[in-house]
Structure 1
């Protein structure tokens, strides 16, 4: 399925509207995918390039948010999150049977589903375009599951909680999805994502980097990447996704609502200053963690091995050749108001 763009004002409005619905925002999802690229084994790179017909991982990773807001993609809306019915800030935790809606599904079940479709013996030989949806979804959902409010039930993951930042109004969910990262990096363009991904790679890979400590990366590995040499099955995929969901959900208690014994008391609060500073550190680590895990998990899905300790230092990612759609959006989206109800047309 190809997203179409028209070089006229209507297209600009359509493109602008989609900025409001992206989990982690385009900046976050692009950065996660670009960072993941630097941890891919050669076989994994070749596999993803083949089934995406050369589409970049960064472009593929943002596509599911557009798709979910079109009539033919509405079935996938519930796949972007899991609603933990816990009690923050006193108690946080995700339980699959309690929190994954049977009819709509959830991000954990979606990761399991996409993993199964991309793992032998379910993969056609040679791999073909039938895998384009599963790979796009997996790229996106591993990003989503690392956003704390994609793992929380309260007021639709904070979507119904208005807050302000420097006097501007947002809802709490979009503040965590987009505002923190965009203000931290200073923009939300493709080039901003490239720069952030390369910076995070150095934080992970350079011995003196912020996330290079053995203790940090051992925590990031958790139990998901201990069985090297095996393709993930449904149980393994679910265990990994639940571990990641619970990791992110801990920040709902320790950061998102930490200062509010009644979480809804955050309504109308100004979230600049100390709240923003602390949240920025959390978001930076979660984006780094998601990118590293995505790369390693893709290696496991495609090759049966994580590639940890075997990956040669990959060159810094560069800005890929942008399609007309991307070029138009990069130029105008900052200056076009959001009009509810519009969606990108697909051909």
Structure 2
């Protein structure tokens, strides 16, 4: 979640017990992935993370948000987003060379930790942090304001949701999800993920057809995969987040039409994140995924890490 400590504290004060995207959003994405991954992938994750429970991915899904504030974890702060320097609502686009800084970004982080995981799997090494980062960053990259520079990813735009004051980023991270689900804890995330999973897996589900096209990526080019996800998600900044520009929502209550447009975007992006996380982990561990429909060679090359 792209907030500083002050904004996190402010959000917590505004919504008692709210633990932001990390609790409900990230856990929901992780639960969806858990419901879709192969048994072999699930066994691998349980072994690496030292957790044999059904909550194995959900329990670490927001780890990266707290790690960035720990001693030695500050280097990972820029990895939670990519600052698209575009011009919403007139133009939305992500450019890696322009938008990914020397300190890194979410695209370079997905590239790096995918490479690290491939090396770990090939060597039989047990190293949990790279897996934890991937679980988190594949969630973050599907939130539109994690792929946007304007207003510090919406952190500098004040809005209201049901009378409570938020910044726009936190509204999308937290307030909307809380309003949709009616809760703020991991139990809420489990119930939310069950509904979204049914929308993916049921023959009559909302995403039954679309979800089959959500993953067309390869481990051979994690940069291309991450850029595709970031670009697709960034497009929502123009169509749903800032459709009439920031002045139209600054200091305003985000209800009515705005909220009605936001809800299906939030739900679909979380469903996409869960599908893509499951497929990415399946490719890493088993070399194939039902969502791709064909095997992926798992030969590990010496790939230099990038920022």
TM class by smaller structure: 0.7 to 0.9
1:36 aligned residue: 33
After superposition, where does 1:251-270 map in structure 2 within 5 Å?
251-260=236-245, 263-270=246-253
SS at match of 1:72: coil
**Counterpart pick for 1:241 among 226, 247, 271:** 226
* TM superposition shift of 1:127: 3.2
Say yes or no: does 1:161 pair with 2:157: yes
TM-score, with structure 2 as normaliser: 0.85
Q: Please tell me the root mean square deviation across aligned C-alpha atoms, in Å.
A: 1.9
**Counterpart pick for 1:192 among 174, 188, 191:** 188
After superposition, where does 1:1-347 map in structure 2 within 5 Å?
24-54=21-51, 56-102=56-102, 104-119=103-118, 121-123=119-121, 125-128=123-126, 131-213=127-209, 216-221=210-215, 223-224=216-217, 232-233=219-220, 236-260=221-245, 263-308=246-291
* TM superposition shift of 1:92: 0.5
- The size of the alignment, in residue pairs, is 277
SS at match of 2:62: helix
1:333 aligned residue: none
Q: Against the structure 1 CA distance between its residues 161 and 20, is the aligned structure 2 distance closer, same or farther, given a 3 Å change threshold?
A: farther
1: CA distance between counterparts of 2:18 and 2:188? 18
Q: Against the structure 1 CA distance between its residues 21 and 166, is the aligned structure 2 distance closer, same or farther, given a 3 Å change threshold?
A: closer
2: CA distance between counterparts of 1:187 and 1:21? 10
* TM superposition shift of 1:278: 1.1
2: CA distance between counterparts of 1:124 and 1:286? 31
* TM superposition shift of 1:307: 3.2
Contact 2:19 2:185 in 1 (8 A): no
Q: Which has the higher contact order (CA 8 A, sep 6+)?
A: 1
1:320 aligned residue: none
* TM superposition shift of 1:124: 5.9
SS at match of 2:166: strand
SS at match of 1:164: strand
Point out where structure 2 has 5 or more consecutive residues left out of the alignment: 1-8, 294-307
Q: Deviations over 1:321-344 (max 9, x none)?
A: xxxxxxxxxxxxxxxxxxxxxxxx
SS at match of 1:212: coil
Larger radius of gyration: 1
1:324 aligned residue: none
